[in-house]
């Protein structure tokens, strides 16, 4: 397999892996997230959160993947990118790492959103 073929194949494989990481995170957290949003007395906000949760986890995973550029200060051209297989592997690992970082940030933001939602509901009910 040439480096150019490796670039194309690995790009789509890593994109699929990042998407799968986002889906796995969603599947792992979905039940507990649904339990939190259904126990909250402010029903409409919980329904909105439940509908947006999948996108709010998978889209950051894909944004992390897309945030990595193959062009750097040292490598600016396409022939320079495909010249070295170890460079391609390093960029694939960087894409996976960025995707995981974005997922962690998304989970933290969802936690803050839920906490803020509970604070708003608590103030409304006066307890």
Domain limits of the chain? 3-125
Tokens of 2: 């040439």
Region 117-126 average pLDDT: 74
72-to-4, 26, 81, 98 alpha-carbon distances in Å: 18, 33, 9, 16
The pLDDT of residue 39? 65
* Structure-token match 């062009």, residue found: 71
pLDDT single digits (tens) 22-59: 999 999 998 888 777 776 655 677 777 888 899 999 99
| Alpha carbon distance 127, 112 (integer Å) | 20
The pLDDT of residue 120? 76
The pLDDT of residue 42? 59
């Amino acid at each position: 397999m040439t480096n150019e073929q490796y670039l194309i194949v690995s790009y789509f494989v890593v994109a699929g892996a990042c998407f799968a990481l986002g889906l796995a995170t969603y599947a792992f957290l979905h039940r507990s997230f649904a339990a939190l949003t259904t126990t909250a007395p402010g029903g409409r906000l919980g329904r909105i959160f439940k509908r947006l949760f999948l996108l709010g986890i998978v889209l950051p995973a894909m944004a992390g993947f897309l945030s990595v550029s193959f062009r750097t200060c040292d490598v600016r051209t396409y022939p320079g990118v495909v010249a070295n297989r170890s460079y391609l592997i390093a960029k694939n690992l960087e894409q996976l790492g960025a995707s995981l970082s974005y997922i962690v940030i998304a989970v933290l933001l969802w936690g803050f959103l839920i906490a803020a939602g509970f604070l708003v509901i608590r103030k409304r009910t006066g307890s």
